[in-house]
Structure 1
Amino acid sequence: MLLLLWLAWKLRRSRQNILQSKRRLEDTVAKLHQARDEQREQMYFLHELLNVLPNPVFFKDREGKFIGCNQAFVNLTGVEQEELQGKTARDVLDGQLTEIAAATDRKVFDSLGQQYYESEVILPDGRKRYYGIMKDCFRRRDGSVGGVIGCFFDLTEIKETERKLERLFLVVEQANEAIVITDLEGSIVYCNPAFTRVTGYSQAEALGQNPRILKSGRQDEAFYQELWATITAGETWHGTFKNKRKDESLFDEQAVIFPVKNKAGAIINYAAVKRNVTKEKQLEDQLRLSQRMEAVGQLAAGVAHELNTPIGFVASNTESVKNYVAQFKQLIPLYREFVDKVVQTQPGLLPDELKRLREAEEDAHLDFILEDLDDLFAETEEGFERISQIVVKLREFSRVDHGDESGHYNINKAIETTLVVSRNEYKYVAEAETDLAADLPDIVCNSGEINQVLLNIIVNAAQAIKEQQRQDKGFIRIATDFDDQWVRCRISDDGPGMSEEVKEKIFHPFFTTKAVGTGTGLGLYISYDIIVNKHGGKLQVESSPGQGTTFIIYLPREKKSSEG
């Protein structure tokens, strides 16, 4: 009986244990089902997440066979996900990319690290796109390497933008115009090689500087204020600068300066495109100077022509009057002899009339008049001679408008002509003195251009003396001599002289010591060009402060055959 009871209790306990185990098993199975469902949900989520990614993503095992991919990779290759599994890159990608893919797979496994490369990919529709591809290895739960995971990044637009920027950069770097970009405070943040060529400042020297390093002082503050007012208002400024290079030589720049705006319309930088127009300005100024010289020549010719006719008939009339007076003078002795005989032979005849006649003769100072007439006619003839010489000199100087004519010419003659023409410039401030070699040989030259050089130097000397505002007159001395090779002309003055710094720049274009607006700075530059480049000569200057200035012109006695 006890045995039966014990067996019954044992069976009950076993049943209870079985029921508990069943419940635990059911719970475990339920949890496993739940975990499986959650895992499936998670896998589905990850699958959907990969599919919504715009970047193509793929997985490969260690043998290089595809395990899976997302929809973007399907679109890239044209191979569906189910078809892709078990295939290699060689099966779905073009040849060049296949080789790169295999090589980078090996690098991933060898280094167990990321690999990145870029390549052009031909899409199923034939379009070409440029991709960056990032690869890395993925690991199993036990830590072993399971394969490769890769992701494509479409770089087509970026590469196109880079190409555009590169083209733009090359254009800017190779442009003949200087291009400068500044920040809002005006500090230079970029300048191209043309800027360096024109200004002499290297890019390293210019960066961080303000463009005011180029200021020459030839423009006033109002000029720059107007510039800044224009560009800060968001508008474009156009104008021309007279700027200064690093070596302090001057040059002309035509500039367009404008604000650079972002997409929101805010100004973020200022940019300038500048063209060196120095040579153009020189040509324009030379043309204007040539036109002025031509006008002077034409005026001189016109004045000479207008003077010639009245001088001719006045001189002719004066000669006639001189002849009439000579005839009249022959009558005076006869008249006096007649009066004396009347008085001697008939003393009582017309005494009152004879008395009045003698008194009238004394009151008229007839003897003085007769003596003075000769002097007056001599002075008049001298005056006519001087006027005639002036007319001749004006005619000679008017040859300046025949710019391309060369021939045999005597420099002494050029000096005499130019002194007459320029006399109004120096007559109140200086005495002109000459020491001209009597046997000076002729040379082959352009007489008009030589006259122009002499005029430039003489006028400069007169203006320099005038600027001293001295009480006494200065002097301008001109001397000529020659040797076997050269005909020389020295033009000296006792003006203020010049420093070494000024002497070094005296023949530079646009350099002037005169006040703004009173000189072009081209007279001596053009003179140098005429003597040195056009005539194969030399033009030298000797000067020191307070000691006056001497210009020495050397002209070859025989013109070189290479010169035109």
Structure 2
Amino acid sequence: MLQNEIEINILLIEPNEKDALLIRSHVEKIKDFSINMTAFNLVDDARDYLASASPSIILLSVNFPDSTGLSKIKKTASIQPAVPVVVLTDSGANGFAIESIKAGAQDYLLKDKMDSDTIRRSILYSIERKKHESALRESETRFKDLANQLPQIVFETDSKANLTFANELAFSTFGYSEEDFSNNLSAIQMIVPEERKIAKDNFAKVLGGAKSDSSQYTALKKNGTSFPIVIISKQICRDGVSAGLRGVIVDLSDRKSAQENLIRLSRAVEQSPVSVMITDLQGNIQYVNPKFVQVTGYTMDEVKGKNPNILKSGFTTGGEYQNLWSTITSGNEWRGEFHNKKKNGEFYWESASISPITDHEGKIINYLAVKEDITQQRLFEKELIWSKEKAQESDKLKSEFLMQMSHEIRTPLHSLLNYSRMIREEAQNSPNVNEEISRCLDGIEKSGKRIIRTMDLILNVAQIQTGTYELMPEFFNIYDDLLSALFLEYSPMAEMAGLEFSLSRESENTLILTDRYSVHKIVENLVDNSIKFTSSGSVSVSVGRNDEEKLFIRVTDTGIGMSEKYLKKIFNPFSQEKQGYSRPFDGNGLGLALIKKYCDLNLIDISVKSRKGSGTTFLLTFPS
């Protein structure tokens, strides 16, 4: 477009009619481009116009009542930020005119020196300047947007090291605000005090034209915490003069932490109490730790690049190795044991865990073997197995011995008891037999039964201790098939002792699945003890079901009871509250120990309540 074809729309804001006419007359004399002028007296009058129109330029007079001062210039410029503003001011107001440029105007004219030529030059200059300002502002915006998207801190300083620009990451990392930034924030002050001299020296070198600097420092946040950084900077030149530095800051916190973790991991592997081996994808050794060297006798140089089969002893089959290789190449961990051979030919056992090492994409890049020498453990296990076999053999011999002894004792004892009964029967029919002979015969029978009972207890305990007793659970009615029979068996004994003996049933459902023999022994021993340790009163046995529908058997007596101290060891073998040959009751202390073991085998919960001189209650609760 030719210059005289250029159309310029001027908005004039001038409250003085005389000045407005003068300005219009000057403008009309401009002939090299087309001009349209719209005039308003006040800024507020021009608001509606500016809302719908976009003039090429605004000529703003500051000599009117409603728009004085720099704030009015800023206000006018902000209505249409893209439109250049030329301030028209009186002569003698040069200082204000300069300030008006700073407030947002592109140019200013003194009214008393104004003519068509000066107006023309000012219009063209202001429009062009506005274009450059807009382009510069757009460039700055692009630079800031780009800087704010970078993962590093971007900064600029002036020649005194004060920050003139910093991206958003800088503010969030260091903790400073925009207000701190506007108060001449020094880049040097953001370094820990002990490193500031070095930072100043490096700043001066780069400012003086030295090669781009890359230096590591310890940075200081606003809150006083520090972190490692690297600053990479270069000189800023304006019109051939050094104006400051521009650069980036890299936060090394994560990198340093990763390095520390790597060092820590490396030391852990080097000092590990187990052997560590790393191989490539073909199984060739790339690394072994000192423990491997100590265990096998091979040095790192001797095994590097070789296959772990140098440790093969011939005890591990090819199928086992094939299974190992198939497992780890499919991405899984293999666990097992090797019987390997050291460099000196000595055999040893090791437990191994071998697994693949993958990269960030999940691709296998190495194999890791962690192995522990378990030779001593194997020897110990072998000794334990030998000891267990010897113990089992010993237990078997003991059981056989006890059974043989039981047979040797029972056989003649039964003969003696039978002879005793025969003599009793003859004596009962003979008038020459007195009461003393009858008491002796009773004593023979009682002592014989005591020996047989003792032998039964010893054999039963031996069976449990050697693990030869086998449970044979069966369904039966515990009231009809077991308790009633025991009641009939022990009723004469209770009657002879002058005791009231009773059996009661609190539930009709007394069916149970359990081992009949051991449960019979449990109840038999409890009833026998209750009668033996009760001199007067009663012994009662009851059976029923509790709130959880679990079957229970309760044996209660009014006998001598037990102390609270003795209750804590009541189920210990051979324990009796009264010890020594002067104790008033016979027994060997095995009865309650056997009861507890039988209860454990049948998962029966046994509890006891007793008080010295007030009797005892045993409660058996069967599992559901």
TM-score norm. by structure 2 comes to 0.39
Give 1 or 2: higher helix fraction.
1
The TM-score with structure 1 as length reference comes to 0.43
By relative contact order (CA 8 Å, sep 6+), the higher-ranking structure is 1
